[in-house]
Structure 1
Amino acid sequence: MLPALDTLRAQLADGRLEAETLVASCIERIGDASGEGRRVFPHGVSAAAATQAAASDALRRCGVAGPLSGIPVSVKDLFDVQGEVTRAGGHVLAEEPAMHDAVAIGRLRAAGAVFVGRTNMTEFAYSGPGINPHYGTPANPFDRSAARIPGGSSSGAAVSVTDSMAAAAIGSDTGGSCRIPAALCGLAGFKPTAARIPLQGTVPLSSSYDSIGSIAPSVACCAALDSIMAGDTEAAAIVSQAPHGLRFAAPTGIVLDDMDSHVAAAFERAIERLTAAGAIVREVSFESWRQLAALGQHGGLVAAEAWAWHVGLIKRHADAYDPRVIARIRLGSGQSTAEYLLNRALRSRLCREAEDELRPFDAIVCPTVPIIAPRIADLDDEPVYTSTNRLLLRNPSIANMLDLCSVSIPCHASGDAPVGLMLMGRHMSDRQLLAIGAGVEAVVRPH
Structure 2
Amino acid sequence: MAPSKTTPGDVLDGSILEAAHALRQRLVSVPELVSASLDRIAATAPLNAYVAVFAERALEVARAQQALLDAGYDLGPLQGIPIALKDNIDMAGERTTAGSAILRDNVAPADASLTAALKRAGAIIVGKNNMHEFAWGGTTINPHYGTAVNAWGERRTPSGSSGGSGIAVATRSVFASIGTDTGGSIRIPASVSGVSGIRPSIGRVSNAGVHPLAWTLDTSGPLAKSAEDCALVLRIIAGNDVRDLQTSTARVPDYLAELYRPLAGLRVGWIDDYSVSNVQPAVREAFKAALATYASLGATVLPIRIPDLDAVVDAVVVIDAAEPSAIHARWLRDRGGDYGADVRAQLEAGFAFSAVDYVQAQRYRAHLRQRFAEAFLEVDAILTPTLPYTAPRIGQGFVEIDGHDRDVLTTNMQFTSLASATGVPGLNVPIGFDHEDMPIGLQILTPELQEGRALRLGHQLQAVTGFHRRKPGAAA
Query: Could you say which residue in structure 1 is the equivalent of 2:122?
Result: 112
Query: Could you say which residue in structure 2 is the equivalent of 1:437?
Result: 458
Q: Which amino acid is 1:109 matched to?
A: K
Q: Is the 8 A contact 2:312 2:417 kept in 1?
A: no
Q: Is the 8 A contact 1:27 1:116 kept in 2?
A: yes
Query: Could you say which residue in structure 1 is the equivalent of 2:304?
Result: 284
Is residue 2:70 matched to residue 1:61? yes
Alpha-carbon distance, 1:385 to partner: 11
**Worse-superposed segment, 428-437 or 114-123:** 428-437
Q: Is the 8 A contact 2:388 2:411 kept in 1?
A: yes
CA distance in 2, matches of 1:139, 1:116: 20
Q: Is the 8 A contact 1:409 1:437 kept in 2?
A: yes
- SS of the equivalent of 2:222 reads strand
Q: Do the aligned partners of residues 441 and 300 (structure 1) sit closer, same or farther apart at CA in structure 2, a change above 3 Å counting?
A: same
Alpha-carbon distance, 1:288 to partner: 4.5
CA distance in 1, matches of 2:170, 2:29: 21
Query: Could you say which residue in structure 1 is the equivalent of 2:166?
Result: 158
Gaps of 5+ in 1: none
Alpha-carbon distance, 1:8 to partner: 0.7
Query: Could you say which residue in structure 2 is the equivalent of 1:357?
Result: 375
Alpha-carbon distance, 1:323 to partner: 1.6
Q: Which amino acid is 2:455 matched to?
A: L
Q: Do the aligned partners of residues 264 and 168 (structure 1) sit closer, same or farther apart at CA in structure 2, a change above 3 Å counting?
A: same
**Worse-superposed segment, 275-284 or 408-417:** 408-417
Is residue 2:13 matched to residue 1:2? yes
Q: Is the 8 A contact 1:127 1:152 kept in 2?
A: yes
Q: Is the 8 A contact 1:40 1:160 kept in 2?
A: yes
Superimposed CA distance per residue, residues 43-98 of structure 1 (whole angstroms, 9 cap, x where no aligned partner) = 33355211111111111111123121100001000100000111011111261311
- SS of the equivalent of 1:105 reads helix
Alpha-carbon distance, 1:304 to partner: 1.3
TM-score between both structures, scaled by the size of structure 2: 0.86
Q: 1:396 aligns with which of 405, 412, 416?
A: 416
CA distance in 2, matches of 1:25, 1:78: 25
Where does 1:30-179 land on structure 2 (aligned, <5 Å)?
Answer: 30-32=41-43, 35-36=44-45, 39-45=48-54, 47-67=56-76, 68-93=78-103, 95-143=105-153, 146-179=154-187
CA distance in 1, matches of 2:46, 2:26: 29
Q: Which amino acid is 1:337 matched to?
A: A
Query: Could you say which residue in structure 1 is the equivalent of 2:276?
Result: 256
Alpha-carbon distance, 1:141 to partner: 1.9
Q: Which amino acid is 2:324 matched to?
A: A
Q: Do the aligned partners of residues 15 and 273 (structure 1) sit closer, same or farther apart at CA in structure 2, a change above 3 Å counting?
A: same
Q: Which amino acid is 1:420 matched to?
A: G
- SS of the equivalent of 1:43 reads strand
Q: Is the 8 A contact 2:199 2:219 kept in 1?
A: yes
**Worse-superposed segment, 36-45 or 132-141:** 36-45
**Worse-superposed segment, 8-17 or 235-244:** 235-244
Q: 1:346 aligns with which of 350, 354, 364?
A: 364
CA distance in 2, matches of 1:326, 1:253: 37
- SS of the equivalent of 2:258 reads coil
Query: Could you say which residue in structure 1 is the equivalent of 2:249?
Result: none
Q: Do the aligned partners of residues 73 and 225 (structure 1) sit closer, same or farther apart at CA in structure 2, a change above 3 Å counting?
A: same
Q: Do the aligned partners of residues 385 and 78 (structure 1) sit closer, same or farther apart at CA in structure 2, a change above 3 Å counting?
A: farther
Where does 1:208-219 land on structure 2 (aligned, <5 Å)?
Answer: 208-219=216-227
TM-score between both structures, scaled by the size of structure 1: 0.92
Is residue 2:322 matched to residue 1:304? yes
Count residues in correspondence: 439
Where does 1:413-424 land on structure 2 (aligned, <5 Å)?
Answer: 416-424=437-445
Q: 1:11 aligns with which of 22, 30, 41?
A: 22
CA distance in 1, matches of 2:217, 2:40: 34
Alpha-carbon distance, 1:341 to partner: 3.1
Alpha-carbon distance, 1:327 to partner: 1.9
Alpha-carbon distance, 1:37 to partner: 5.5
Q: 2:345 aligns with which of 303, 306, 327?
A: 327
- SS of the equivalent of 1:175 reads coil
Q: Which amino acid is 1:430 matched to?
A: E
Gaps of 5+ in 2: 1-11, 240-251, 470-476
Superimposed CA distance per residue, residues 197-253 of structure 1 (whole angstroms, 9 cap, x where no aligned partner) = 110100001111101111101101001111100146988543323333321111134
Q: Is the 8 A contact 1:183 1:369 kept in 2?
A: yes
Is residue 2:247 matched to residue 1:227? no
CA distance in 2, matches of 1:380, 1:87: 29
Q: Do the aligned partners of residues 74 and 357 (structure 1) sit closer, same or farther apart at CA in structure 2, a change above 3 Å counting?
A: same
Q: Is the 8 A contact 1:243 1:440 kept in 2?
A: no
Q: Is the 8 A contact 1:11 1:17 kept in 2?
A: yes
CA distance in 2, matches of 1:340, 1:379: 27
The percent identity for this pair of structures is: 29
Q: 1:426 aligns with which of 437, 447, 450?
A: 447
**Worse-superposed segment, 236-245 or 134-143:** 236-245
Q: Do the aligned partners of residues 235 and 10 (structure 1) sit closer, same or farther apart at CA in structure 2, a change above 3 Å counting?
A: farther
Alpha-carbon distance, 1:255 to partner: 4.1
Q: Is the 8 A contact 2:259 2:452 kept in 1?
A: no
Query: Could you say which residue in structure 2 is the equivalent of 1:371?
Result: 389
CA distance in 2, matches of 1:8, 1:187: 18
Q: Do the aligned partners of residues 141 and 263 (structure 1) sit closer, same or farther apart at CA in structure 2, a change above 3 Å counting?
A: same
Q: Which amino acid is 1:103 matched to?
A: S
CA distance in 2, matches of 1:386, 1:125: 22
Q: Is the 8 A contact 1:56 1:65 kept in 2?
A: no
Q: Is the 8 A contact 1:187 1:218 kept in 2?
A: yes
- SS of the equivalent of 1:116 reads strand
Q: Which amino acid is 1:25 matched to?
A: A
Query: Could you say which residue in structure 2 is the equivalent of 1:193?
Result: 201
Alpha-carbon distance, 1:380 to partner: 10
Alpha-carbon distance, 1:409 to partner: 0.8
Q: Do the aligned partners of residues 388 and 293 (structure 1) sit closer, same or farther apart at CA in structure 2, a change above 3 Å counting?
A: closer
Q: Do the aligned partners of residues 161 and 363 (structure 1) sit closer, same or farther apart at CA in structure 2, a change above 3 Å counting?
A: same
Q: Is the 8 A contact 1:46 1:115 kept in 2?
A: no
Superimposed CA distance per residue, residues 378-434 of structure 1 (whole angstroms, 9 cap, x where no aligned partner) = 3599xx998112222221121010111011111105993210011100111112221
